[in-house]
């Protein structure tokens, strides 16, 4: 795909990539193994001269000309928040919430169905209808509290094999403001029927790499085994156990990471709203 875009759209010959340098924009929460494969693709297979990685939230501050900011990226399927300072995205402030614009669209469609949505044959899983619902959300939804009451709206639904499309009229009231507010009141997102989770950045020392002989996980396990053998030789009477092969290991960093993710979920299993996620991200900034 990248080679097609470079050659067909940007009119760059693939044979000339050795004289170009690439900048790869990566997500704020990433997996080191995936990044290694992408770097291998760019440098070894495509043949770029060099490559530089930059996180999308850091790139956003560069584009806005800001030295520090709390960046909020609302996508279709996820919403990510992190605090950036001097081109560094602080790991403890990164969080990815599994809801976005697509969930707002589904919520808006569910609300429209409760108020006699005229397009009865609409199916959200069909491409044409999915595009239509997204357009209705973009055209009708708002967060302007000064607008109240119902308004008459019109839209055209184009079905495959039928031209021109059929025109519908509907009355839109509070649905237009309730749907986008679901980002802040996540209990409204339950109509999508899926459980929303929060993910945080896994420390690089916990992202094991089987092909790296100096991987942090490998070094930790071998050092623990070596320390145990030395302890057995020096004080074997203190290590007597009914099951010597059994070893209980407590991974404090992994437990801490799970605890951080739980802090983005309120009692009852409901994920927190976007406003609370921003506040928690800012509170995690280093002092």
Q: Supply the pLDDT for residue 32.
A: 83
Q: Return phi, psi of residue 116, to 5°.
A: 60, 60
**Domain stop point among 97, 119, 146:** 97
Does residue 254 sit within a domain?
A: no
In order of 230, 232, 234, 235, 237, the CA distances from 241 in angstroms are 17, 12, 16, 13, 10
Reported as a single tens digit per residue, the pLDDT across 168-194 is 888 888 888 999 999 998 888 887 766
Q: Supply the pLDDT for residue 154.
A: 86
Threshold 0.85, pTM exceeds: no
| Ranges of the chain whose pLDDT falls below 50 | 238-239, 241, 243-252
Does residue 28 sit within a domain?
A: yes
Specify whether 89 is located in the same domain as 3. Answer: yes
Specify whether 5 is located in the same domain as 91. Answer: yes
Cβ contacts of residue 96 below 8 Å, gap of 6+? 28, 29, 78, 79, 80, 198, 199, 200
Q: Supply the pLDDT for residue 263.
A: 66
Identify the CATH number of the domain in which residue 53 sits.
3.30.420
Specify whether 148 is located in the same domain as 184. Answer: yes
Quote the number of domains for the chain.
Answer: 2
| Omega before residue 164 within 30° of 0, cis | yes
Q: Which two tokens stand for residue 262?
A: 């739980």
Range(s) of the domain holding residue 115: 101-192
Distance CA 21, CA 153 (A): 50
Q: Supply the pLDDT for residue 230.
A: 57
Q: Supply the pLDDT for residue 137.
A: 92
**Domain stop point among 42, 67, 97:** 97
């Amino acid at each position: 795909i990248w080679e097609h875009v470079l050659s067909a759209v940007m009119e760059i010959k693939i044979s000339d990539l050795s004289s170009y340098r690439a900048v790869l924009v990566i997500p704020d929460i990433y997996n080191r193994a995936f990044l290694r494969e992408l770097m291998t693709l760019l440098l070894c297979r495509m043949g770029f001269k060099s490559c530089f990685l930059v996180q999308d939230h850091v790139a956003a501050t560069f584009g806005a000309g800001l030295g520090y900011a709390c960046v909020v990226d609302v996508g279709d399927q996820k919403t990510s928040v992190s605090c950036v300072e001097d081109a560094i995205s602080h790991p403890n402030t990164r969080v990815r919430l599994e809801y976005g614009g697509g969930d707002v669209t589904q919520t808006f469609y569910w609300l429209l169905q409760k108020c006699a949505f005229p397009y009865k044959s609409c199916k959200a899983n069909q491409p044409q209808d999915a595009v239509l619902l997204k357009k209705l959300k973009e055209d009708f939804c708002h967060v302007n509290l000064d607008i109240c009451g119902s308004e008459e709206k019109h839209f055209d639904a184009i079905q495959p094999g039928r031209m021109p499309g059929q025109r519908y009229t509907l009355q839109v009231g509070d649905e237009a403001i309730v749907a986008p507010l679901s980002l802040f009141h996540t209990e409204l997102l339950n109509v999508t029927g899926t459980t929303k989770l929060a993910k945080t950045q896994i420390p690089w020392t916990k992202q094991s790499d089987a092909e790296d002989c100096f991987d942090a996980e490998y070094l930790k396990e071998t050092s623990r085994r070596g320390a145990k053998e030395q302890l057995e030789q020096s004080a074997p009477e203190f290590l007597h156990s009914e099951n010597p092969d059994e070893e209980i290991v407590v991974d404090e960093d992994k437990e801490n990471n799970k605890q951080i993710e739980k802090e983005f979920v309120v009692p009852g299993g409901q994920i927190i709203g976007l406003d609370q996620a921003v506040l928690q991200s800012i509170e995690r900034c280093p002092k």
